[in-house]
A and B are shown apart, each in its own frame.
Chain A
């Protein structure tokens, strides 16, 4: 299997109060930006990636977000390009380029090909539609988000495979002269697609034979979605396996469980992932498919990244007392404990982490496992210690276990390469008995 390190590169010098007051990270004023501290952070995160390679991670994964101190990476391809030069063997996994937000797929094709070339073939390209808030920041029409995503992706594939020059007149993109003089070093870089339970994205991945990476999604629904992927694969004539699936999980490791628990609270800094953006920015018009909207409408208690129909219907200022920080933090801590009970966050000593990770691998059987580093104002020292403990003590144990239960990564076995004859029953891709044994709340 392939094991990756991922970090949102949080803005670590930001106090928590502005985030709580804003009820989300997206929209916190950049008046709090500090160019000196930012320079420290940006350089540190590059060094952290190098250290990951040194201690045994197979890959470093990075992403981008906009207008949001939850993630300081705003132009992911620039950071990836630097890593292409300063790392030597780790895969550089971009999860991903937000095609509808960038609005310039020819430029993306050139940037990624440059990264792949400088790194001599270590790029894993990933594509995302961009979070809802990204559509506002980039003024990308959310009602055309899926269309633009599909068209941009298809265009980039052509850029990487068709000899130029050629002309392109599409629906959303138009180019007079397509003839990029940089092409990927690999014949075709692998493409891994992150997602948070969008059925449409899963089906698209199955059609393309792209690994789908669940972003810390609850184990039960993750199993459902991977079965959906595997059913579609079977229809298309191939057996999905661990090489088709990846999983990203918040993990923080320290020398003792107690210390890990204390520092791991960085995951709920400012409200954590559920406070990424407010409801009005999370679900812009037309961004979700009609079926997803129908599900949201029928399940008022249902939630998508912390957004429910109830929250959409609620006024912006009814139930939020921004000055009651202690009460808010108590709620967040309860959420932190719950996420650990649900196995959606793993925090602890190397022994604790290894055991929980192995339990998770048993259920969802991913070929890519990505450790999402802690958020919040955690020091370089504590972050690096977590990386070191994971790399040197946890990952060897996890790799051995993955081998024992037959988990292949997409670089061990090409996704889609195991053919399935029509009418043949597909093999299971998840272990639901193992899920039951976990006895999750």
Chain B
């Protein structure tokens, strides 16, 4: 078991809670729009040869909200300053869903600062076909059902089984509120992002796009549009999984990420 710890650092002008675990070249992990769900088996596997640095997004209950953040672009630039202040040398970024949207904005703003980006079920670009599922118009249970295709996955019940405590409920609502602040309109995409990614395209920033074959949150067309913007990207589809391939088939997920980062 890799050790991980939670620490608070003052970075880029505000306190930021970080989960850090493992050792090796840094891997910056950006959680999704519903918040950090804890140290799972995929974290454990990747932490065997990487140091995982997982910022808990400002406004999600633990790191204080930053009133000046209006868009994912703002959050992305904040994280770029966090990278600078932590002194990370071209870290790889592994990011999920709306976190992947933020990572794409980071790549658009300053691709030279990053080693690579792995975007899992990325929001951020408007699909031509289909729509990004509106999590804001769903109850918690509907949202979870929509998110996870393979509900037999062991870690699904570990994360979402049992009674939700008052504290969990509050954190969940904090996450939804902050996600709404950043992504309510237009809903979880930036119309400029495909063009802004030109710099990441020109610098050939290594990119991996991962999507669960049964993802009901982010349409396949989002992957196509990302690939159009970043033609250097590799694409991995993990069969039999939905929007959370990292917990639905963590072995396949870890293999894909490790292969890409090797």
- Please give the residue numbers on chain A whose beta carbons come within 8 Å of chain B beta carbons, in ascending order: 136, 139, 141-144, 279-281, 284-286, 288, 290, 293-294, 296-298, 309, 311-316
Whether A284 touches B145, Cβ cut-off 8 Å, given contacts A143-B178, A313-B164, is: no
27 residue pairs from A and B, CB less than 8 Å apart: A136-B136, A136-B137, A139-B184, A139-B185, A141-B185, A142-B136, A142-B184, A143-B177, A143-B178, A143-B184, A144-B181, A280-B137, A280-B138, A285-B136, A286-B177, A288-B173, A293-B170, A293-B173, A297-B167, A297-B170, A311-B139, A313-B140, A313-B141, A314-B141, A315-B141, A315-B142, A316-B139
A313 touches B139 (CB 8 A): yes
Most buried by B among A143, A298, A314: A143
0/1 interface trace, chain B 17-60, chain A, CB 8 Å (1 if under): 00000000000000000000000000000000000000000000
Q: Is the CB of A143 within 8 A of B139?
A: no
With a CB–CB cut-off of 8 A, which chain B residues contact A286? 173, 176-178, 180-181
Chain B residues in 8 Å Cβ range of A144:
181
Of the four ranges (under 10, 10 to 19, 20 to 34, 35 or more), the interface on chain B belongs to 20 to 34
CB-based contact B137/A281 at 8 Å: yes
What 1/0 flags go to B131-152 for Cβ under 8 Å of A? Answer: 0000011111110010000000
Q: How far is the CA of A143 from the CA of B176 in the complex (A)?
A: 9
Q: How far is the CA of A21 from the CA of B136 in the complex (A)?
A: 22
Q: Smallest CB–CB gap between B171 and chain A, Å?
A: 9
Q: How far is the CB of A336 from chain B (nearest CB, A)?
A: 26
Inter-chain pairs besides A285-B176, A309-B164, 6 sampled, C-beta below 8 Å: A136-B136, A285-B177, A286-B180, A312-B140, A315-B142, A315-B145
A142/B140 contact (C-beta < 8 A), A294-B170, A297-B170, A315-B145 known:
no
Roughly how many angstroms separate A123 CA and B42 CA in the complex, as a whole number? 62
Chain A residue numbers with a CB within 8 Å of B166 are: 294, 297-298
Q: Is A279 within 8 A of B180, CB to CB?
A: no
* Nearest-CB residue, chain A, relative to B33: A285
Inside 8 A of A288's CB, which chain B residues have their CB? 173
A291 nearest CB across to chain B (Å): 10
Report A-chain residues with C-beta under 8 Å of the C-beta of B177. Answer: 143, 285-286
Query: What A residues does B178 contact at CB under 8 A?
Result: 143, 286
The CA-CA distance from A180 to B98 in the complex, in Å, is 42
A309 to B177, CA, bound (A): 16
| Chain B residues with CB below 8 A from A285, complex form | 136, 173, 176-177, 179-180
B139 touching A312 by the CB < 8 A rule?
yes
Residue of A nearest to B164 (CB): A313
Residues of chain B within 8 A (CB-CB) of A136 are: 136-137
Smallest Cβ distance from A221 to chain B, in angstroms?
21
Whether B184 pairs with A141 at a CB distance below 8 angstroms is yes
Assembly CA distance A281 to B166 (angstroms): 21
Question: How far is it, in angstroms, between the C-alpha of A286 and the C-alpha of B180 when the chains are bound?
Answer: 7
Interface Cβ pair total, 8 Å cutoff: 72
In the complex, what residues of A have CB within 8 A of residue B179's CB? 285
Q: Could you tell me the distance in whole angstroms from the C-beta of B139 to the nearest C-beta in chain A?
A: 5
B180 adjacent to A143 (CB under 8 Å): yes
Nearest CB in chain A: distance from B172 CB, A: 9
What residue in chain A is nearest B185 (Cβ atoms)?
Answer: A139
Q: Which residues of A contact B141 (CB under 8 A)?
A: 313-316
Contact B136 A315 (CB under 8 A): no
Whether B180 pairs with A142 at a CB distance below 8 angstroms is yes
Chain A residues near B260 (CB, 8 Å)? none
Q: Tell me how far the C-beta of A384 lies from the nearest C-beta in chain B, rounded to whole angstroms.
A: 39
From known contacts A143-B180, A315-B142, infer whether A284 and B170 are also in contact, taking CB-CB under 8 Å: no
Give the CA-CA distance A280 to B140 in the complex, in Å.
8
Shortest Cβ distance from B115 into chain A, in angstroms? 33
In angstroms, Cα B164 to Cα A316, docked, is 17
Q: Complex: how many Å from CA A297 to CA B166? A: 4
Inter-chain contact A284/B136, CB cutoff 8 Å:
yes
A284 to B178, CA, bound (A): 12
Among residues of B, the one whose C-beta sits closest to the C-beta of A296 is B169
Q: Tell me, in angstroms, the Cα distance from A280 to B146 when the chains sit together.
A: 14
Q: A288 to B170, alpha carbons, bound, how many Å?
A: 11
B-chain residues with CB within 8 Å of residue A142 when the two chains form the complex: 136, 180, 184
Cβ distance A85 to chain B, nearest Cβ, rounded Å: 37
Which residue on B lies nearest to A142, using beta carbons?
Answer: B180
| Chain B proximity of A49: nearest CB distance (Å) | 35
Residue of A nearest to B134 (CB): A136
> Whose C-beta in chain B lies nearest to the C-beta of A312?
B139
Complex-state Cα separation, A136 to B141, whole angstroms: 19
**Cβ–Cβ contact A316 & B142, under 8 A:** yes
Chain A residues near B137 (CB-CB < 8 A): 136, 280-281, 284
For residues 154 through 206 of chain B, which have their beta carbon under 8 Å from a beta carbon of chain A? 164, 166-167, 169-170, 173-174, 176-181, 184-185
B167 to chain A, nearest CB (A): 8
Q: Please indicate the chain B residues that have their CB under 8 angstroms from the CB of A280 in the complex.
A: 137-139, 142
In the bound assembly, the distance between CA atoms of A285 and B164 in angstroms comes to: 18
Residues on the A chain within 8 Å of B184, using CB:
139, 141-143
Q: Quick one: closest B residue to A279, CB to CB?
A: B139
B141 to chain A, nearest CB (A): 4
The smallest beta-carbon distance between B151 and chain A, in angstroms, is 12
Whether A315 touches B173, Cβ cut-off 8 Å, given contacts A141-B184, A142-B180, A143-B184, is no
- Set B164, B167, B180, B185: member contacting A284, Cβ < 8 A: B180
Shortest Cβ gap from B231 to chain A (Å)? 34
